[in-house]
Chains A and B, each alone.
Chain A
Amino acid sequence: MKTQTMQSFGMNKELQKKEARELFNNLETPLLKYGQGIQVLLKELDLNQVIAKVNEEERMTIEAPQGVIIRSIQELNQEELETYTSLISATENKFLALHFAILDDWKIIIIPRDMTVKGPIIITSHISKKAKAESIIVIAEVNAKAEIIERSSSTEEAYYKSQTVQIFAKENAHIMFSSIQELSPETYNFVIKRGKVEANANITWLDATLGSKYTHLRVQTHLTSLHANTENYSLYFNQGKQIFDLNTESLHKTRQTNSNMLCKGVITENARTIYQGRILIEKDSKNCKAKQKSENLLIDEHARCDAVPILEVENDEVQCSHGATIGKLNEENIFYFTARGIEENIAKQMIIAGFLEPIINKFPTEEIQEHIRKNITERITK
């Protein structure tokens, strides 16, 4: 089933869509249940409405420095297609079937061998109506180095957005993929990001989850060869009735691979966050190092947070640790500020900004960092 779907991509795009559509019709909507009563109920979300209202007019735009190759899906040959669409499949679940059923907007970015791209590649997506699906494929050839910034926004007419990102980091390639998500609080957002990291290569994922009504973010990295490395730095600021359902995974499929995940977030008003992290170290993956940490601040009385950090270790030659904290603003810190004549509100703002700063300052450009800071400060003072 899987290969069939893949093969039909290049040959006949409409056929592939039709297959995904059939899958969509046949699959059950997955329950967003994560054990021990932790679950998300999306009562209002109507997937049939999504399929009926597909936005085919608006497209992602890319600004890329010289040397970076941008191609369309039709330009890939059969073998390339099969390889580079292999990490995510329409058969996985109803949301992904829907994604491929309505998908029209592909961007394929190729960083040629030995190239160090000067300056970031910037992908911009703004949708102003209905439902939209986007797929990004990044192929970093041997020794290639690049930073990619992906920014997404929407208006309140945009109902549903779905996105997949597949990154292939070949030997010694280094890719940093940053996402700044500022969708409208009316937009449902489903994002699946997967990376495959080969020998001595690295993928660094940066995520600023700020907007949307509901965000379903899954970032998964497959460490498949010696000395493959991944880092995942994620921040979120959650407000109103927003629900963020975040999941990061490092899969250590071979020995001497390393991973580090850090997620920091702030939950205000009636918002809710579910954070799941998972480290899997397979049986023969010896000498791996893996770390994962999540820190969550609950600001208001009705804010909620669920955290499930998971460790699965199948051999003894490893160093693994994980941790999660869920807490409130430190009253002593607030007192410190107020004792110096700073208003409580401002004090809180400063503490929150300081709490998120270690992740903010990992984003690639000063401008983006400033933009994230501004987004958060404005929303705190709102």
Chain B
Amino acid sequence: MKKEISVSRALYDDADEHTSRFIAKPGINEEIVRLISKTKNEPEWMLEKRLKGLKLFGETRTPTWGPDLSSLDFNNIIYFADPNATATKMWEDVPPEIRKTFDRLGIPEAEKTALAGVGAQYDSSIVYHNIQKSLEEKGVIFENMDVAVQKYPDLVKKYFMTNCIPIHDHKFIMLHAAVWSGGTFIYVPKNVKVDLPLQAYFRMNAQKGGQFEHTLIIVDEGAELHYIEGCSSPIYSENSLHAGCVELHVMKGARMRYSSIENWSKNVFNLNTKRAMVHEHAIVEWINGNMGSQRTMLYPCSVLVGEGARSESLGIAFAGPGQDQDTGAKAIHAAPNTSSIIKAKSISKGGGISTYRGLVHVTENATNTKSTVKCDALIIDNESISKTYPFMKINNNESEVTHEATVGKIGEEEIFYLMSRGIDEEQAVQMIVNGFIEPIVKALPLEYAVELNKLIELEMEGT
């Protein structure tokens, strides 16, 4: 297992070599949407979905309640690029701070170039195929989303942007529906427990083509899955908009953990949507780290539709200079005896803004519901900002909902304590920050935890 993890950061393999080499012009129109669909040889219903999404997108205004999106120009974004056509950049074009971070994290050369989107493809096919084989034996489907549309039309048609995240959900989902490309499709059959965390690194071409990637995961009754998305080392992207969509269907008695560490380069608008439908006695766990991007709007949502369903969200956001991290979690209790726990931590530094925005909604029939929300924010300097906007909508009298939040700076006494024991100030601050984020780091697989810790150390340098 150890060995597999150590090489598993490969971003893609060579599975998708049949697509034509093509980059669309910036901007979006019907022609492009039709072209995407045609290139992928999609069934008619998918094209219809795309066109409907496009129409809704044109009719809907950009939301103004969150971070400032005024510098986001929809007409200046390339909505479709053939993955093979993009890998022509030079290593020298990659911004120096990203190169520096790669070096500091000790990422292997081959992988560095892959992460930066400049290198030849990093070959992980051997590992990939081994895992693929063991999964196949259990009947697990683990496929590129584009391929899944062709290979598993019934499953995809039933679950793809239907009752979990419908295409009219909000402006960026409408856009996503129109131009989505790549991503992951996973189906875990009844009572199958996948003991190895599945990682998005195995996605074929997903990173390169994938600023609008779609993840659809169905964990059938009694099954278990841990899925890891993204990458803790920075991903350099020239494209400034990332509008992904993640749909999870966690069936009766199933259990799913979805971990994601997002670290897009700091030019990116990360406007991502993640939602889980959680059925009877099923459990969903969200673990989220948001480090990168200039603007993030991400509120993973659990819709507890079955009796006794449970949801747990752990989130950590780091907002450095120029960053506005608007993240949080939503729990919609739509059935009796459901429970949710939301824990969010944020660090603001160097003028960064971190915002917790969340929702706990208890519908009229969701009796005997329990929900706890706890937010802690750390502000490192006088330039930075922290905001908390929790929404609570409670429509029955058989529920217990609590929310708590604190905002403050690192205690001088704590720093003094450490310094009096011979630790220098910078290191003392670092130790306290590490302690602050520990509950979230603990929930991650070891290699991620180590990387996340290192990243935060890098970001904290010089405070």
The chain A residues found within 8 Å of chain B, CB to CB, are 35-38, 283, 286, 296, 298-328
Contact = CB atoms under 8 A, between A and B. Distances in A.
A314 B354 CA distance: 10
Contacts of A298: 394, 396-397, 399
Contact of A327 (B361, B385, B401, B407): B401
B410 to A, nearest CB: 8
Interface in B370-402: 377, 379-382, 384-402
Contact of A324 (B364, B384, B392, B399): B392
Contacts of B386: 311-313
B359 interface: yes
Contacts of A322: 388, 403-405
A313 B382 contact: no
Nearest to A329: B397
A37 B409 CA distance: 33
A301 B409 contact: no
B382 A316 contact: yes
A284 to B, nearest CB: 8
A35 B393 CA distance: 11
A324 B403 contact: yes
Contacts of A323: 402-405
A308 B398 CA distance: 20
A36 B359 contact: yes
Interface of B: 65, 359, 361, 364, 377, 379-382, 384-409
A283 B384 CA distance: 9
Nearest to A299: B397
A235 to B, nearest CB: 19
Contact of B379 (A304, A313, A327, A328): A313
B395 A318 contact: no
Given A316-B382, A320-B408, A323-B404, A310 B388 contact: yes
Given A306-B392, A317-B382, A325 B402 contact: yes
B392 A307 contact: yes
22 contacts: A35-B389, A35-B391, A300-B397, A301-B396, A305-B394, A307-B391, A307-B392, A307-B394, A309-B403, A311-B386, A311-B405, A312-B385, A312-B388, A313-B377, A314-B385, A316-B408, A319-B408, A321-B405, A324-B403, A326-B400, A326-B401, A328-B397
B391 A318 contact: no
Contacts of A319: 408
Contacts of A310: 387-389
B407 A320 contact: yes
Contact of A36 (B377, B387, B393, B405): B393
A134 to B, nearest CB: 33
Interface centre among B359, B386, B398, B402 (most CB of A within 10 A): B386
Given A311-B387, A316-B409, A320-B406, A286 B392 contact: no
B400 A328 contact: yes
Contacts of B403: 307, 309, 322-325
A371 to B, nearest CB: 27
